[in-house]
Amino acid sequence: MSTKVAVIQKPPVLLDRDKTIARAVESIDEAAGAVATLLVFPEAYIPGYPTWIWRLKPGGDMALSGEIHARLRQNAVDLDREDLRPLQDAASRHAVTVVMGISEIDSSFSGTTLFNTVVVIGPDGTLLNRHRKLMPTNPERMVWGMGDASGLRVVDTPAGRLGCLICWEGYMPLARYALYAQDLQIYVNPTWDSSETYIATLRHIAREAGCWAIATATAMQGSDVPENFPDRDSLFEPDEWINGGNAVVVDPSGTVIAGPLHREKGILYAEIDIEVARRARRSLDVCGHYARPDIFSLSVNRKPLQPAEFSD
């Protein structure tokens, strides 16, 4: 049985959580109207990927970087506060599964640290999984903390067994294998890397795991950055493409079947079928008949790594 996938690469309202969530709900309504039941959004879509970190010099204008980070923190998603309730309600209203990238604030312990997080929302509106990026990349480490493996899980959805890694986590072989070993059928990779090299990586992952691979960055121009963004005109050119998006869907043979959707602020649609993934592993099943557990083994600590435990 096939599932229609919608890969959404429209720009957010950068640094505005509530307006971005409203925009995401509009995209959910649009994709559901096109009869898609699995909807994928980019990395850190709410309230927008911190693209400025690749433009500000490390140790440069600390006042500017501090002001931008403060706005990011103020607009980060607090799951305990149920900031994603409008998305959860929209998923339930349309009976769709939503994969969403967010900047998440830790309100339980520090109250300040942010994480690069991807959440999976089920068709009944429940939060099926939360995965925090294990290793932020390069200047991302000035924005996000390192996540633990408590969300390194594959979950059941109507489309199939779905697992997520964020952007360059796809280059971490052991993180990939941890998902493969949970009967991964659909690999979803919210990302900021829209390069041809990364599309080649997705094709490799799909072939290696015998799974569907779905990814997108955010299609975004300088003109999409709100006017109230600090020092916007010195950081961005109105006509420049900050990111081309390149939403893509790859089948379990490693063949691109939809996309890449390049420099288009829209939605990429594709049909996927998990039976194709099951059949792909007849010759190559890296966690089954093609594994050598007598030689190689992997141990994954999925215990939540909390900075403090309190006993009253």
- In residues, how long is the chain? 312
What 3 state SS string does 167-215 have?
HHHHHCHHHHHHHHCCCCCEEEEECCCCCHHHHHHHHHHHHHHCCEEEE
Pick from 40, 17, 42, 291: which is nearest to 191 by CA?
42
Q: Which residues are catalytic?
A: 43, 133, 167
Helix pair angle (85-94, 17-33), 10° resolution: 10
- Percent of residues in the chain assigned helix, strand, coil, to nearest 5: 30, 25, 45
What CA–CA distance (Å, rounded) separates 44 from 276?
30
- Tell me the residue type at 85: R
Pick from 143, 138, 209: which is nearest to 177 by CA?
209
What CA–CA distance (Å, rounded) separates 237 from 274?
43
